[in-house]
Amino acid sequence: MSKVIVSSLYDSDVFRMACRQFDKAADAINLSEALRDRTKYPRRCLAVSLPIKRRDGSITVFEGYRVQHNLSTGPSKGGIRFHQNVTLGEVAALAMWMSWKTSLVGLPYGGAKGGVICDPNQLTDAELEHLSRRYMQEMVNFVGPHVDVPAPDVGTNEKIMAWMMDTYSNHVGHVESAVVTGKPIALGGSQGRREATGAGVAYLAKKYLEDLKVPMGKTTVAVQGFGNVGSETALALSRYGARIIAISDYTGGIYNPKGIDINKALNYVRYQKTLRDFDGGEAISNEALLELKCTVLAPCALERVITDKNAGRLKCRLIAEGANGPTTNAADRVIEERGDIEIIPDVLCNSGGVIVSYFEWLQNLSNYYWTRDEVMEKLFGMLDRAKDSVEAQKRKFKFSRRLAALTLGIQRVADAKQSRGLFP
Ligand code: NAD
C-alpha cells in the first residue's frame, strides 16, 4: 500500500481522484517508494493575476494558472481552460492525466495544463483577446517550444491560440509557431487538428464496437457536451453510420430517438452559440442524458459527471470518455461490479487531440506541412497501437482497462525518471 499524501497546494476532489488513481496504478506495478512521489506530484506551477480593462472602462483582475506535471520526457504539453470553476487543483489533476496520456501513446512530452477562472461567454471578443494575450505575456518565461506547449481546452479555441502565438512571437522577436498547437491553419495549424480529438474518440468507439460485435447501423449514441470534442465525436460517429439520439451543452440537452441531424445542430450552434431552443428533438437535462438507453455514452464536457449516484442507472454498452476525468473512482467500482459496460478510459480515448498537436508541433519545427490524409492515417495508426498495448496489458495482468492504460503511462514516466537519475 502506498502512503496517502495529498499536497495542500492542489487539494481538491479532482486532484485527490487523480492521486488515488495514481496510487492504485503504482501499487499494481509495485512502483518503488523512491520513485512514487517524484512521479506523482506536479513538478512546478505558476499562478498569475491578469488585470483586464473591461468594455465599460472598469478593471477586472482574473486569476490564471499553469501546472507542469512532468518535464522528464520532453517539453510538457496540455491545454488551457477558460471556465468559471477552474481551480489550481483541477489544473494539476488535468496536468497529471496529460503526463500519463502522452506517455501511453508514446509522445516525447510530459504533461501540463493551464486555466483561467473566467466565464468566456460573459466576455466580449476584445476582452477575451486582452485576457488571452495577458495570460501568455505572464507565461512567456514559463512556456516555449522546448519547454511547455499549450493548446486549446474547454472555453478556448483556435482564435485564442492565435492571439497567444502572436503575443509570444512579438516578445521573442520572431515567428514562433511551435509555442502553441491548435492554431488556425494560416498560422501553422495542422490539417485535422480541430477535429482530431473527436475523430479519435469516434474511431476508438468504432473499434471497440467491432470487438463487441455491435454493427454501426444498430448503434445509438448519447453525447454530453457539444463543444470541440463532443460535436466532432457526434459528427464522426454519425458518418460511420451510428444514430445520435442525444446531445447537450451547458444549457441542457436535446433527445430524439429517431436521430439528430448533427450538421444542422452544428450550424445552429455556429450562429446561436448554444443548443438552447434547437428544434431537433425534445428537451432533456444533462443528468437524464447520461442515463439514456444507448449503445455509446460519450461524456465530452467536464470531470466527475458519472458518479456512484448514477453509475448503477446507466443503460449504455460502452462509455467513450471524450472528457478528462468524467468517471469518479467510486463510479468505476460500481461499473466494474456490474460488468456489463466497457469503458474506453480518457487517457486513451481522447488522446487524438494531443497526438495531432504533436504532429502540428513537428510540422512547425520542420516547416514542412502534411496533408489531412497523412495526418489522419498517422493518427489512426497511433490510436491502433495504443489500443493494442492497453488490451495486451489488460489481458496480461487482468486489470480493468483504465488500470491497464494508467499503469502503462505511469510506468514509462517512472522509467524515464529512473534512467535520468536524481540531480544531487
Ligand atoms: P469546449 O469548450 O469546446 O466544449 C465544452 C462543451 O461542454 C460545451 O458544449 C459546453 O457548453 C459543455 N458544457 C460545459 N459545462 C457543461 C455542463 N455542466 N454540462 C453539460 N455540458 C457542459 O471544450 P472541449 O475542448 O470540447 O473539451 C471538452 C472535454 O474534452 C474537456 O474535458 C477537455 O479537457 C477534454 N479534451 C479536450 C481536448 C481538445 O482537443 N479540445 C483534447 C482532449 C480532451
Residue 8 pLDDT class (50, 70, 90 cuts): confident
**Residue of 100, 116, 123, 229 to mutate, ligand 1, most atoms within 8 A of C-beta:** 229
Each residue's pLDDT tens digit, 198-233 = 999 999 999 999 999 999 999 999 999 999 999 999
**Residue of 302, 304, 361 to mutate, ligand 1, most atoms within 8 A of C-beta:** 302
Residues catalogued as catalytic: 113
Each residue's pLDDT tens digit, 356-402 = 999 999 999 999 999 999 999 999 999 999 999 999 999 999 999 99
Q: State whether the beta carbon of 328 lies less than 6 angstroms from ligand 1.
A: no
Distance (angstroms) between ligand 1 centre and the Cα of 57 equals 31
Strand partners of residue 63: 49
Residue nearest to atom 16 of ligand 1 (CA): 250
Q: State whether the beta carbon of 353 lies less than 6 angstroms from ligand 1.
A: yes
Distance (angstroms) between ligand 1 centre and the Cα of 392 equals 30
Q: State whether the beta carbon of 348 lies less than 6 angstroms from ligand 1.
A: no
Q: State whether the beta carbon of 229 lies less than 6 angstroms from ligand 1.
A: yes
Q: State whether the beta carbon of 357 lies less than 6 angstroms from ligand 1.
A: no
**Residue of 123, 154, 249, 269 to mutate, ligand 1, most atoms within 8 A of C-beta:** 154
Kindly tell me if the per-residue pLDDT of 4 is higher than 50. no
C-alpha–C-alpha distance, residues 257 and 249, integer Å: 18
What pTM was estimated for this model as a whole? 0.97
Distance (angstroms) between ligand 1 centre and the Cα of 381 equals 25
Residue nearest to atom 30 of ligand 1 (CA): 323
Each residue's pLDDT tens digit, 115-130 = 999 999 999 999 999 9
Distance (angstroms) between ligand 1 centre and the Cα of 349 equals 14
Atom of ligand 1 nearest to the CA of 253: 20
Q: What is the grid cell recorded at 371? A: 496533408
Each residue's pLDDT tens digit, 9-20 = 999 999 999 999
Q: State whether the beta carbon of 93 lies less than 6 angstroms from ligand 1.
A: no
Q: State whether the beta carbon of 295 lies less than 6 angstroms from ligand 1.
A: no
Residue nearest to atom 31 of ligand 1 (CA): 323
Q: State whether the beta carbon of 160 lies less than 6 angstroms from ligand 1.
A: no
pLDDT at site 6: 54
Query: For the chain, what percent of residues have pLDDT higher than 90?
Result: 97
Residue nearest to atom 42 of ligand 1 (CA): 353
Each residue's pLDDT tens digit, 47-91 = 999 999 999 999 999 999 999 999 999 999 999 999 999 999 999
Which domains does the chain show, CATH number per domain?
Answer: 45-175 (3.40.50.10860), 196-344 (3.40.50.720)
